[in-house]
Chain A
Amino acid sequence: MTHPSHDPELGGLAQLLRDDAQASVPPEVDLRGRMALERRLREETERVPGRARPFYLLGGAVAVMAFVALFVLRMRPLSYEVRGARSDGPYIGAPATTPVTVAFADGSSIEGAPGSRLRVDETRAAGARVLVERGRAAVHVAHRTGSAWNFVAGPFDVHVTGTRFDLSWDPSGEAVELRLYEGSVEVRGPLAEAPIAVRAGQRFRADLGTRSMTVNDVAAEVATAVALPQAPEAASAAEPKTPALPTSNGDAPSPAATTELAPARPLPLSSEPWSALVARGQFETVVAKAGERGTHDCEASCGAADLRALADAARYTGRSAMAEGALKALRGRFGASKEGRAAAFTLGRLAEARGSMSEAGRWYDTYLGELPGGDLAAEALAGKMRTVMATSGKAAAEPVARKYLSLYPNGVHAQTARGIVAGTPHP
């Protein structure tokens, strides 16, 4: 059918814009929008006033105006200023070689290390929610009555009232590190049901890949390791327990210092979309819902968004086999979709985590073949570099390392790549 505005001269140009304008958005983006609208509708409905005489309405309006006049300055969200980098809206990226500083009106500040990426997701009257999307951030939160700050690194949420700490997140390794200098904070995350308290002088580290967390006393270098319960499938295989992260001096934590957490209680089931539950950190609920439906049934009949959500929830709760099943179903049934293609990278990560380097390499190759310009292309190429190195040695990994360096000279794996290139004897 001819487009109503068909213009032979503009044909190709107009088509270019049309194709982009009509491109489908990822289901989770649409879902977020739909849920936000639903929330706004609820708010609007609750705000509807009852029947009232104009006299009362006028009195109410005056009272509200007085209230607003009195508190508007106090309740105004914190303003902030970015120094040392360009910011667009909430996104702040530190240059590769210099740090960036975000200074808040209440005296709090965040210094992002070179190459880090932050997002000031929300500012409130007495705090803000800041995402450390990549790299390290040195944080100083000025203590005030009622202040409430949240710093989010991957699936971990650090709740703060007044303190000074460093927080880093490595999105490729899915590892978080928090070093506290003053005050105390609470960390919530997928590896523990209850919040974990971290005090001044301690360091908290968590690794989603190995499902381990440690809280170290930095001054004494005495570690208290917290080993997590094995996922059901892993536990049934009677494998040794997942080791906790090494302590700061490089030694494995003492078994005597290891405390097992109680298994998570089953959470009440919800009718919300799984992706929304994952977005809110309710990973166990998603896994429980999939179990209720039957995991294999879900793999055969769940939609792409649910499979993706199940894979994430399973990964975050250490159920690697369940995550792999969901991801393979996603590829098998929705292989042409963006989510299906992106699943290749996660399958590579899972294979690498269990030591199947050849398989991991194949998945990374698949990802790079299908999405060469994808969001995770740099990480996939780094993964390929690691797996080639592990299976075929440094000489074989050298061309991959060179390619990485040519494409991502300031990438997070550039140092590793340079090491491979420098250590390989040239012909």
Chain B
Amino acid sequence: MPAATGAVSRFPAERLGDAELVRAAARGEGDAVQVIWERYSRLVRGVLRGSLGPDHAIEDLLQEVFVGFLKGAKNIQEGGALRGYLVGVAVRLAALELRRRKIRRWVTLTPTGTLPERAEAPADSEGRAALAALHRVLDGVSSRRRLAFVLRHVQGLEILDVAASLGISESTARRELEKARTFVLKRAEREPALRPYVARATGGSA
């Protein structure tokens, strides 16, 4: 048997489960925080971007989500539910941002409530126009309904997870989703840039 060298190698953080990562992050271990970023920043960014569209605020909100996590890591009881925790925080921040936008529109700081230059929208102008139109349509629904729509149809969350993220019952989540769906389909048909996408979905009937 080879002699022991005395060196103790640490278990690689990237192989830890979420619960261990949360405990390690609570102890201030930078490696664990980096792995959590690696594992979930894309998801959280996706939730924010799907909810708000391309916007300079997204990277700031992403930071807020993770900083909030760092501050509260010690108090997280179920580390295994890290994904749901981060999505929940992102949803709450997105809802706040949507409210801020509405206020900006009311006080006419900008006509649309959005920043003048949007970050990294799709490269093709047709896709950019369609995406802008779709966010215009989504601006017409309540924040909760919009977030339910995004969590279900963009992030692919199950209804129960949508309900948990929004802090509502499953039946309310179903109602919100159905109302959002009906509204989006109806309004999308009135947006020229979205017609091809609706037509594609309904087999050209729209």
Contacts and interface: CB of A to CB of B under 8 A. Distances in A.
Answer yes or no: are A and B bound together in one complex: yes
Interface of A: 3-5, 7-23, 25-26, 29-30, 32-34, 36-38, 40-42, 44-45, 48, 86, 88-89, 91, 93, 371, 373
Contacts of A25: 45, 120
Contacts of B202: 8-9
A12 B53 CA distance: 17
Interface string B127-144: 110110010000000000
B153 A5 contact: yes
B125 interface: yes
Given A11-B200, A89-B56, A373 B125 contact: yes
B57 to A, nearest CB: 8
A34 B34 contact: yes
B201 A10 contact: yes
A426 to B, nearest CB: 32
Contacts of A38: 30, 33-34
B59 A32 contact: yes
A71 B45 CA distance: 37
Contact of A41 (B28, B109, B117): B28
B93 interface: no
Interface in B104-150: 109-110, 115-117, 120-125, 127-128, 130-131, 134, 150
B91 to A, nearest CB: 13
B45 A17 contact: no
A42 to B, nearest CB: 8
B50 A91 contact: no
Q: How large is the interface on B (under 10, 10 to 19, 20 to 34, 35 or more residues)?
A: 35 or more
Given A41-B70, A371-B123, A93 B198 contact: no
Nearest to B177: A5
A13 B198 contact: yes
12 contacts: A8-B201, A10-B153, A12-B198, A16-B131, A21-B47, A21-B154, A25-B120, A40-B70, A41-B30, A44-B70, A88-B109, A91-B115
Nearest to A46: B28
B158 interface: yes
Nearest to A86: B110
Given A9-B185, A41-B33, A16 B197 contact: yes
A192 B157 CA distance: 54
A88 B70 contact: no
Interface stretch (B61-69, B79-87, B164-172): B61-69
Q: Which 8 A-B pairs have the closest CB atoms?
A: A12-B197, A21-B50, A45-B28, A12-B200, A21-B46, A14-B153, A4-B156, A11-B201
A32 B62 CA distance: 12
Contact of B134 (A8, A17, A36, A42): A17
B184 interface: yes
Given A33-B59, A48-B28, 12 more contacts: A5-B153, A9-B181, A13-B201, A20-B131, A21-B45, A22-B46, A23-B120, A40-B66, A42-B30, A45-B28, A88-B115, A88-B116
Interface of B is mostly: helix
B152 interface: yes
A364 B152 CA distance: 43
A30 B115 CA distance: 21
Nearest to B113: A88
A12 B196 contact: yes
A127 to B, nearest CB: 22
Contacts of B197: 12-13, 15-16
A22 B122 CA distance: 11
A123 to B, nearest CB: 16
Contacts of B185: 9-10, 13
Contacts of B59: 29, 32-33
Contacts of A20: 49-50, 53-54, 121-122, 131
A34 B128 CA distance: 28
B194 interface: yes
B110 A33 contact: no
A33 B28 contact: no
Nearest to A374: B123
> A15, A26, A88: which has the most chain B beta carbons within 10 Å?
A88
Given A8-B201, A10-B153, A30-B41, A21 B110 contact: no
Contacts of A86: 109-110, 116
A100 to B, nearest CB: 13
Nearest to A37: B66
Contacts of A373: 123-125, 128
